[in-house]
Structure 1
Amino acid sequence: MRILHVDASAKRERSNSRALARFFLERLRDEHVNVEVDYLDVTVDTPAHVNEAFAIATYTPAAERTPEMKAALAPSDALCRRLLEADACVFAMPMYNWSMPSAFKAYVDNITRAGLTYVNGPDGRIHGVLTRQKVLFITSRGADLRVEPYSSMDALTPALRAAFGFIGVAEPGFVDAQPLQFSEPAARMAALERARAELSTVAAKWAAAVEAQPASPVQTNQDAMASSVA
């Protein structure tokens, strides 16, 4: 399974979302899933924010783009390619001021591309291309947004659902560790334990889905050859 793993926390080793993402990948390996990770830290390799050149180039038909337009879109093209080549995506981020970190918003802007991650169908409707990838969002939140007075302030979950639903992700998974920073130590520990338990469950489900998939013709031939040699 080729997994695109994207971290978006400004913190490094002190980041809960980063730690939880690593935990999830470890659980997948414990479930005997053959994991190949394509890693991106958008706080280090931050995608460029949309500017005029990008906005003009992205809506110019590909056949009509100038070399300058192609150059302006090249980093976005590469990000889209990595996304499309993945079998699954793990996006880990904290909630900043009720929504996503700006570095991840820049990533979203770069991967929302006409003709690449969504297409305009003959019926006039927009069709997202990411229909085969599993997608998991791992978020950390300082407060507990499951209860009032904060439950109405969660702009992160609907924004992620909308952005990735637009490009074809119909059923993303969410594991939210909360409350963390603005809570007592016992509540923080409980929140992290709850998140790890949920991630272990998701890992088991992903592993079962991988196990249930029919082997590709290439893999079947390789298994047959291995059996004959044995």
Structure 2
Amino acid sequence: MTTLLQLDASAQPLERSHTRRLVRGFLDAWRARRPQDELITRDLSRDPVPPIDTAWIAAAFTPAEARTPAMHERLVLSDRLIDEVAAADVIVMGAPMYNYGMPAALKAWVDQTARIGRTFSFDLARGDVPIEPMLHGKVLVVLSSRGEFGFAPGGPRAHLNALDPHLAACAHYWGVAPPDHHTVAIEYQEFKDHRHDTSVAQAHADVLALVARLMAAR
């Protein structure tokens, strides 16, 4: 059985959110073929994760056996979020581009799940590569939407894309290696012309094709 983790970061409801509809399309296609698979859902916009703070950092960087009760309490939510990632085989992330980067709701989740001793170890004995992921073998599917266009490598706005590189840089915290990181994006949203319509249709077709490829590989 495969476990999927659904993450929605759009501030918009389903009827107004391209990323929510892409995520819905992915999951509907997957579960139509594999209804027995488990689904964990987390709506980061409707149930926001708090940003990390001084108390969180102090708790996370204190060895577990030395933490106070208050420190353990401060990490309860982080532990729950990391447990969801650890349980998942496929992470399906609805991640719209806001101001060329990720929504604040998603950034808070990233910071809560990138945690020493839970998702990565740190050892200076490894020299210049002290970080080593503790989770492995997972697939990350990023389903995105962008108001403008040309954010892919080589595109006219690639240098403005702070969303995709950030997620790629952090993917190892969630046990994802580069071949298992997939992105489908809708563009031209602010232009509202035929290019946007074409991009929407292509993205939904790409999602169905991606589901088929991922299932064939399992």
TM-score by length of 1: 0.85
Amino acid of the structure 2 residue aligned with 1:139: S
Separation of aligned partners in 2, 1:148 and 1:32 = 37
CA contact (8 A) 1:93 1:140 kept: yes
Corresponding residue SS for 1:174 = strand
Corresponding residue SS for 1:143 = coil
Amino acid of the structure 1 residue aligned with 2:157: Y
Aligned residues: 209
1:86 to 67, 81, 88: 88
Corresponding residue SS for 2:117 = coil
Q: 1:174: how far off?
A: 0.8
Q: 1:167: how far off?
A: 4.5
What aligned pairs does 1:59-70 form with structure 2 within 5 A after superposition? 59-70=61-72
Separation of aligned partners in 2, 1:16 and 1:177 = 8
Separation of aligned partners in 1, 2:176 and 2:201 = 28
**Alignment deviations for residues 181-211 of structure 1 (CA, whole Å, 9 cap, x no partner):** x12331221111111121111100111122x
What's the counterpart of residue 160 of structure 2? 153
Q: 1:30: how far off?
A: 3.5
**Alignment deviations for residues 6-32 of structure 1 (CA, whole Å, 9 cap, x no partner):** 000000021000000000111213444
**Alignment deviations for residues 105-126 of structure 1 (CA, whole Å, 9 cap, x no partner):** 0000000111111123585332
Residues 36, 184 of structure 1: alpha-carbon distance in 2 compared, 3 angstrom cutoff: same
The reply on whether 1:27 has 2:29 as its aligned counterpart is: yes
CA contact (8 A) 1:33 1:207 kept: no
Separation of aligned partners in 2, 1:32 and 1:64 = 44
Separation of aligned partners in 1, 2:175 and 2:82 = 13
Stretches of structure 2 that go unaligned for 5 or more consecutive residues are none
Residues 184, 44 of structure 1: alpha-carbon distance in 2 compared, 3 angstrom cutoff: closer
Corresponding residue SS for 2:59 = helix
What's the counterpart of residue 11 of structure 2? 10
What is the Cα-based RMSD across aligned positions, in Å? 1.7
CA contact (8 A) 2:100 2:163 kept: yes
1:177 to 181, 186, 189: 186
What's the counterpart of residue 77 of structure 2? 75
Stretches of structure 1 that go unaligned for 5 or more consecutive residues are 211-230
TM-score by length of 2: 0.90
Choose 1 or 2 for highest CA Rg: 1
Separation of aligned partners in 2, 1:197 and 1:65 = 49
Corresponding residue SS for 1:47 = coil
CA contact (8 A) 2:96 2:145 kept: yes
Q: 1:149: how far off?
A: 4.0
Residues 52, 148 of structure 1: alpha-carbon distance in 2 compared, 3 angstrom cutoff: same
Amino acid of the structure 1 residue aligned with 2:102: M
Corresponding residue SS for 1:190 = helix
CA contact (8 A) 2:113 2:173 kept: no
What aligned pairs does 1:74-153 form with structure 2 within 5 A after superposition? 74-120=76-122, 123-124=125-126, 125-144=130-149, 145-146=151-152, 149-153=156-160
